[in-house]
Amino acid sequence: MKAIELFSGAGGLALGIAGGGFSHEALVEWDSDSVRVMRDNVQRDNWPYKKWNVIQGDVSKFTFRQLEGKVDLVSGGPPCQPFSVGGKHRAFNDNRDMFPHAARVVSEVKPRAFIFENVRGLTRDAFKNYFQYIQLQLEYPEATILDNETWTEHLHRLERLKSSNADYGLRYMVNTRVLNAADYGVPQQRHRVFIVGFRSDIGQAWGFPNPTHSEDELIRSKWGTGEYWDEHRVQRSRRPEITETEARRLDRLSFKEDIRWRTVRDAIGNLPNPTFEFSAEFQGHRFQPGAKPYPGHTGSRYDFPAKTLKAGDHGVPGGENMLATEDGRYRYFTVRESARLQTFPDHYEFTSSWTESMRQIGNAVPVDLATILADSVRQSLAGNPQRSKEKN
């Protein structure tokens, strides 16, 4: 099945979409450093997706009408700054808000499905009406905003259209959900909102895949069975103390069939300690000095999923890009470690500076999570929806 991607960044969502069985006709990204990283990887001998056509440009300046009826999926991660906690929260009034252009591309291409991703901040009460507006634009992409019409007036018109259940050309059935990547096997607690739509004429029911991994099982494997420590050959003398919160949860655990959350140790435990020297075996695995803890900036725990990696370096609040090591010290994650926490394969190289690479990785969608979603969408488009096991 064929796909195009908008706002590709450095390629995390695209890698996942490709891993889920889609072939990209085009990937569009305006940032030159991110484009260079994708193109550098495409040109490597071991690159598995040779047909990737990486285009540098502004989505708002492109027309995609030539692809009408030729693409099964449109995907992308519109810039999150208008909605992020660290941003100015201007939404529609921020010229970086690209959701109207995402809806425009959907109206031009008329794909059978789409997948869009953004920060959880988009679902906050402050953006409640605008989030509804985004969904309705994608549900009725041909009912575009009129000249001199405000977004709130457009929202009101879309609401009336939906309530009337009128036949207004192209329509999509839209589902949204905030997912925690850790619940799907990513070694990072990363909450993001996903917006998935299927063209209404397909008539295919679809729901988000059920979580496969859980914190309860991680607690059980550590403090109930000890399997986690045995797996990593951690001697009892080197194991941390169970926290009061974990002890209380352990007492209340019931039997489940989930897999345990993956941890930082799972992701990077087989990497050598980074040094100032470049690693010939692991690209981007080089020590970056300067990490310091302070209140509210304490780094990620080694035996827990990482905090959400963010698009910054030492200035990121909360220590999201910093590791609290087993010996009580702190250091920044290397580029390669950060890539692993986002489930990029080791053969995918980030060739920019440390700061720029951390920005690209922090902005990315975890590859494995994107693969799970894409595969589920592809199965539905093929008329063979995956049936998730019901929870008891």
Residue 386's pLDDT is what?
Answer: 61
Side chain identity, residue 112: R
Strands 23-29 and 213-214: unpaired
* pLDDT at residue 312, as a whole number: 58
Q: What is the pTM of this model?
A: 0.91
SS3 content of the chain, % helix, strand, coil (to 5): 35, 15, 45
Q: Which residues in the chain land under pLDDT 50?
A: 82-91, 94, 313-315, 317-318, 388-392
Q: What is the DSSP secondary structure assignment for residue 321, as one 8-state letter?
A: T
Residues 255, 206: Cα–Cα separation, whole Å: 28
Q: What SS3 state is found at 197?
A: strand
Contact 152, 93 (CB under 8 A): no
pLDDT score at 80: 55
**H helix count then E strand count, the chain:** 12, 12
Amino acid at 140: Y
For residue 343, CA distances in Å to 59, 218, 285, 348, 360 come to 27, 19, 15, 10, 14
Helices (H), 316-353: 335-341
- The runs of H, that is alpha helices, within the chain are 12-19, 32-42, 99-109, 128-139, 151-164, 215-219, 227-231, 244-252, 264-268, 335-341, 354-363, 367-381
- The helix/strand/coil state of 196 is strand
**Which residues are known catalytic residues?**
80
3-class SS of residue 94? coil
Token reading at 70: 């030729």
**What's the pLDDT at 389?**
46
Number of other residues whose CB lies within 10 A of the CB of residue 128 = 11
Closest CA to 141 of 113, 103, 174: 103
Identify the three-state secondary structure at position 310.
Answer: coil
**271 burial via Cβ count (<10 Å: 0-12, 13-18, 19+):** middle
Cβ neighbour number for residue 223 with a 10 Å cutoff? 18
Sign of CA dihedral 368, 229, 210, 321: negative
